[in-house]
Structure 1
Amino acid sequence: MSASAVAGYRFDDADLPASPVTQEELDHLRTTLLFSEADERALRRAWEILRDQVEQILDVWYGFVGSHPHLVAYFSTPEGEPIAGYLAAVRPRFGKWIEDTCTRAYDETWLAYQEEIGLRHTPARKNRTDGVRSVSHIPLRYLIAFIHPITATIRPFLAAQGHSQEEIEAMHQAWFKAVTLQVALWTRPYGPATW
């Protein structure tokens, strides 16, 4: 799916404000995560495997969220009614996120969109993109906790084309580092003064 066809997807939007995170801070995070150029290459290889499985990956992730009422609540009205249109609108952006995680350069444009994604989980921007009346934010604890299911469930998809265990492990570890890096960046809007 092309970026322009995904409502609310703003990765290359020139009007998106720059991230307050500096390249040096990003480099320090990458170093802390042991995230290297080899990991970036592994992610590019991963995309070659994942690109034709995005809908199946999203089915797994949506099934996970859908099976837990405390998670569906963040896509529901304040009264607890799930908003089907909201879930449907987020899905293609989530698919683009998989692609971006594997293929994008970790530069200023990428940092700006990570800031936007982080803000969309907080009271500052949640619900605005899709114009819905839902709960005000997603608690930070769930962003952090989601690192595991988003990482654990990707492995079978990486193994789908018969690559060696060593190659699968390299791609899986690169994915884990990339997801952790992004979640670390998404935490900034929750507490800029202490980030």
Structure 2
Amino acid sequence: MRKLIRVVCCCFIVLSPFVSAGKDAIPGYTYGKKSIMTAPYTLDDLEKLKATVLFTEDDAKWLRKSRKVLEPQAEKILDTWYGFVGSTPHLLAYFSDAKGKPDSRYLGRVRQRFIQWIYDTADANYDQNWLNYQYEIGVRHHRKGKNKTDNARAIKHIHGRYVVALTYPVTATLRPFLENSDYSAKEIDAMQQAWIKSVLIQSILWTEPYFKKGDF
């Protein structure tokens, strides 16, 4: 795992420097806005999905505890995740134009929302606004909405298999950052398991646009 961390940290930082911003200043961040679409799945659907992946209130507690650990390290976490994407050509292609040139503006705007996504995930606030924003994120991965928010020049559709597959590298590479705390190994395990479950739930919700009506 530490070898993976070293590999992903070195490849991509130069493409997209992060500029800190408040929520209202984050480009394309529409969480809680009236303009956002209502999710086609319900809070009851969410509860059933949570039960299916064994997500409990204890997991929500550990997510919230993780925020104080991860927030000061958020930029380094994004360096790691972006490093992984940057060192993986078939993933970087989704942020690149038809000639294979990465869209640095697009990457920079997505990075700011990705930072905020860490906080939103750790807050574990599963209300209707959260649910609606998951659908919005899903649409932005799909040809229905890809590139539109950022007026990007990148490939117009992310294949659905990678939306779910990224659950592992995102949550696995989080471990060293969680360990950078005073929590015990058992408590860190609880935080990481909570993150795995939450990211899996989110990645599943993001795939809704990829299904025919009634199949999701």
TM range (shorter): over 0.9
Q: How far has the Cα of 1:178 moved from its partner?
A: 0.3
TM-score (ref. length: structure 1): 0.97
Equivalent residue in structure 2 for 1:148, among 153, 168, 173: 168
SS in 1 for 2:141: coil
Structure 2 residue identity aligned to 1:95:
I
Moved over 6 A (4+): none
* Alignment CA distance shift 1:98-1:192 (3 Å): farther
Structure 2: runs of 5 or more not aligned? 1-20
Across the aligned residues of Structure 1 and Structure 2, the Cα RMSD in angstroms comes to: 0.9
Residue 92, structure 1, aligned to residue 112, structure 2: yes
Identity %: 47
- Mapped contact 2:142–2:156 kept (Cα < 8 A): yes
TM-score (ref. length: structure 2): 0.88
State the partner residue of 1:180: 200
Range moving further from structure 2, 117-126 or 83-92: 83-92
Aligned residues, how many? Answer: 195
Structure 1 residue identity aligned to 2:154:
S
Q: Aligned equivalents of 1:128 and 1:17: distance in 2?
A: 15
The CA deviation string for residues 53-79 of structure 1, in whole angstroms up to 9 with x for no partner, is 000000000111111111110000022
Structure 1 residue identity aligned to 2:186:
E
Range moving further from structure 2, 120-129 or 70-79: 70-79
- Paired residues for 1:108-119 under 5 Å: 108-119=128-139
Range moving further from structure 2, 132-141 or 177-186: 132-141
SS in 2 for 1:120: helix
Range moving further from structure 2, 134-143 or 174-183: 134-143
Residue 160, structure 1, aligned to residue 188, structure 2: no
- Mapped contact 1:104–1:110 kept (Cα < 8 A): no
Equivalent residue in structure 2 for 1:105, among 116, 125, 150: 125
Structure 2 residue identity aligned to 1:70:
H
Structure 1 residue identity aligned to 2:192:
H
Q: Aligned equivalents of 2:80 and 2:155: distance in 1?
A: 24
Structure 1: runs of 5 or more not aligned? none
